[in-house]
Amino acid sequence: MWMAFRKNIAFSDNYVTINLKGGECMQREYPVLSLSNYICSTTADDGRTVTNLQLQKILYYIQGYFMRCLDSLAFDEDIYNWQYGPVVPEAYFEYNVNLSNPINNIDVTAANEFGNSLRIDSKAFNLLHKVLNKCLLYSARQLVSMTHKEDPWKNTASRQMISKNAIKRFFACNDPLGLDS
């Protein structure tokens, strides 16, 4: 039975593309470092910058809104409760060399390739950009303050993993960025 479906599945690095009926593709659970690099590159292309602190909150909101709107994860890596809000350690440590400065260690070629693969799933692409653009309206400090008021962070002990179920439950009942408005 597996062989009958094999022609409709393509594997690339850490994510899977599945060709659905009618040629529509769905790709979820992107590698968080590829997603992070894409976010940094996209903001730079628009003449904006993002710090590591902002990136961590953006990843949290992308994860929550993917669960809310697409009923899937944006990435598989865990999010933790750290002093300044939700953090994805893999992404944090990739970019912590920038300290509180804008992230500048971006692989533009990889970001463009990732962006091209992301565009295949227009729902994911559009949602990611909607969340990103909304988050960029806030400073890093404002994003920290917002996440500190939200149940997934408030109800998780310091340095502990914020469960995906807690994030999903919160976003199912809340629209913290006001995307539905």
Q: What is the pLDDT of residues 121-174, one digit of tens each?
A: 999 999 999 999 999 999 999 999 999 999 999 999 999 999 999 999 999 999
How far is 98 from 93, CA to CA, in rounded Å? 10
Give tens-digit pLDDT for 23-78: 444 547 899 999 999 999 999 999 999 999 999 999 999 999 999 999 999 999 99
Residue 120 has pLDDT above 70, yes or no: yes
CA atoms within 13 A on the CB side of 178: 6
- Inside any domain, residue 18: no
Domain that holds residue 109: 32-173
Confidence of residue 181 (pLDDT cuts 50, 70, 90): confident
What's the maximum distance between 2 C-alpha atoms anywhere in the chain?
52
- Inside any domain, residue 72: yes
- Residue 99: other Cβ atoms inside 10 A: 9
- Inside any domain, residue 149: yes
- Inside any domain, residue 23: no
- Inside any domain, residue 15: no
- Inside any domain, residue 41: yes
- Inside any domain, residue 145: yes
Residue 15 has pLDDT above 90, yes or no: no
- Inside any domain, residue 65: yes
pLDDT at 26: 54
